[in-house]
Structures are given as C-alpha cells and as structure tokens.
C-alpha cells in the first residue's frame, strides 16, 4: 500500500525549498534594482514590480503549506470562506502579476515597433497606468471572491480553490488570455 502522506510531506518540503530559493532570487533582483540606477528603465521597473508582487505570492504560499500539513496531520477541513480570508491578498497580487506579465510583453513589442515613441513616453505615468489596470483587475476579482465566498469544504487553500468556481473560471480565462497575448508577442 502506498503511503500518500509521505508523498504529501515530500511535496510540501519541496514547496518550502522553492519558496526560499524564489525569495532569494526575488529579493536580490529588487535590491539590484535599487542599487543600480541603470536598471530603472520602463522594462526594469515593470520587472521589479512583477518581482515584488511575486515575492508576496511566494510568502503567501506558506499559508497553503500550513493548511496542507494541518489536513494531513489532523481531520481538519478547510472552508472556502475561511481560506479566502487568509489568501485574498495573494489572489490580488496574482491578478496584478497577470497584468504585469502581459504589460512586459506589450512593452517589448512597443519598444521594437515604435522605439522613438517608446523612449519618449514618460516612465511614471506609463507605469501608473499599467499598475492601475492591475489594481482594477485584482480588486474586481477580490470583491467577487468575497461576494461569492461560501462554506464549501476545499481540499487545498490556494487561489483557485479559495475562489468560488464561477469567479475562478473568470480568473483562469483572464490568465489564459494574458498567456496567449504573451505567446503571440514572443513570436
């Protein structure tokens, strides 16, 4: 008979290791951005913003690990609304990341197709516009998530399961469209 608890402990151990490796890389990139003024271009700022939001998501992943270990070691059942209250900021940051990833791709395309116009764009309003789009999308998903939170039992406490299925479907569709946009810009 296979001991699935051993597999789960192994997976959570790997997740914890990846959190620390990811945090090390992200914090170094953020530190480098502030240390080297030459990296403060539009692209560099977008990348640093993306890394900052990713850092928060990595830290939030520890919530999923804690709930996962609690479900392995006890008969604990996670309720969707309880889980959502713990990770709604993670969902918000994940949504902002989706917009930032798409924006980095579009920024590359604009820089290649219209280099003079791209160079002449003022960095602060450009970045504020992109971040505002991310905040609007993230806030919308978080509000919908709070509105549709219920007492259903979920197996894991992570963004897709914490969101009500109809909100998670919207979340997945926007992420899919952003991924298509990135893939098309890379060709």
What average pLDDT does the segment 162-187 reach? 83
Contact 102, 172 (CB under 8 A): no
Contact 68, 12 (CB under 8 A): yes
Q: What does the pLDDT look like over 35-49, one tens digit per residue?
A: 998 888 888 899 999
Q: What does the pLDDT look like over 115-144, one tens digit per residue?
A: 999 889 898 999 999 999 999 999 999 999
* Domains: count for the chain: 1
pLDDT confidence tier of residue 167, bands split at 50, 70 and 90: very high
Range of the domain at 93: 4-186
Q: What does the pLDDT look like over 18-76, one tens digit per residue?
A: 999 999 999 999 999 989 988 888 888 999 999 999 999 999 888 888 888 888 888 88
Structure pTM? 0.87
Which one, of 24, 41, 178, 29, lies nearest residue 97 by Cα? 178
- CATH number, position 20: 1.20.1070.10
Q: Is the pLDDT of residue 163 over 70?
A: yes
């Amino acid at each position: 008979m296979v001991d699935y608890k051993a597999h789960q402990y192994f997976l959570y151990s790997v997740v914890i290791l990846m959190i620390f490796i990811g945090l090390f890389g992200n914090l170094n990139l953020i530190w480098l951005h502030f240390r080297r003024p030459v990296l403060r271009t539009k692209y560099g700022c977008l990348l640093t913003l993306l890394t900052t939001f990713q850092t928060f998501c990595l830290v939030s992943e520890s919530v999923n690990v804690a709930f996962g270990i609690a479900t392995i070691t006890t008969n604990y059942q996670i309720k969707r609304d309880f889980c959502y209250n713990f990770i709604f900021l993670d969902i918000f940051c994940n949504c902002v990341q989706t917009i930032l990833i798409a924006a980095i791709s579009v920024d590359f395309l604009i820089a290649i197709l219209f280099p003079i116009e791209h160079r002449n764009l003022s960095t602060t309003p450009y970045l504020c516009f992109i971040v505002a789009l991310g905040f609007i999308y993230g806030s919308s998903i978080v509000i919908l998530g709070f509105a549709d939170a219920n007492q259903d039992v979920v197996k894991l406490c992570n963004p897709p399961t914490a969101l009500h299925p109809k909100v998670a479907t919207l979340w997945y569709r926007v992420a899919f469209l952003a991924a298509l946009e990135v893939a098309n810009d890379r060709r």
